[in-house]
Amino acid sequence: MTRRALVTGATAGIGNAFARELAKRGVDLVIVARTTERLETLAAELRSKHQVEVDVVTADLSTAAGVQAASNALTDTTRPVDLLVNNAGASLAGWFGTTDMADEDRQLDLLVRAPMHLMDAAIKSMAGRGGGQIINVSSVAAFTPRGVYSAHKAWLLNLSQWADIHYDDVNISVQALCPGFVRTEFHERGEMDVSDVPRWMWLKADYVVKTSLRDLERDKTVSIPSMRYKALAGLAQHLPRTLVTRVAKRGR
């Protein structure tokens, strides 16, 4: 049973929904994000509403210092973390080849380097005390050719699938959560035009989180919320790459 969870990107979107749902279930939390004020506001609310312990870690996970701060919380033997939710993320509005490489480097650090380092810290800590769980928030974009973002998410999906098998003998479960379009601040922050995305493709963050946690209890390595996205992910793996790439341009 999860007693303490660390959630990155906890002040908005899917990460916020994870923090709220876990607190509702009586799980103590470590919440990580870049903005101290928003973290403290959320922490105070969850403590008051659900009587759980909530620690705050202000960290920019696109930096080495930020990753180290989160890693320190994961390896704290006095307050062990049973569940890591690697959620923090962002995207760039432009396509690779038109963007600034400094921005691409920050994205690589945030979407690949940070979850890799936090997984490493969590696995080494959990393996020494009987196991634990990791949820890596990937994306249904991992199944499509969609530029650098989908490549990062495909990397995370692949690593999660391998780790779930490899560390099963030390009782560590790893899930790749692969949602589609979710109503959050994500697209607005990335200055992306989502006007061409039909209403039926949008999911709610709390639904995504409840699906993920249910699938984690059922030991599902890949969690794809909603039947429509399960179908789309399946089709994406069998349809011609050119067609899938053209369709996947939506939401930019």
Q: Identity (one letter) of the amino acid at 111? A: L
Catalytic residue among 149, 167, 207, 229: 149
Query: 6: closest CA among 67, 68, 55, 42?
Result: 55
| Catalytic status, residue 229 | no
Q: Rounded CA gap, 200 and 112, in Å?
A: 30
Query: 36: closest CA among 69, 77, 80?
Result: 69
**Hey, how many other C-beta atoms are within 10 angstroms of the C-beta on 201?**
17
DSSP structure class, residue 110: I
Query: 179: closest CA among 148, 147, 156?
Result: 156
Q: Rounded CA gap, 180 and 187, in Å?
A: 12
DSSP structure class, residue 60: -
Q: How many CA atoms lie within 13 A of 59 on its CB side?
A: 29
Give catalytic residues, as residue numbers. 149
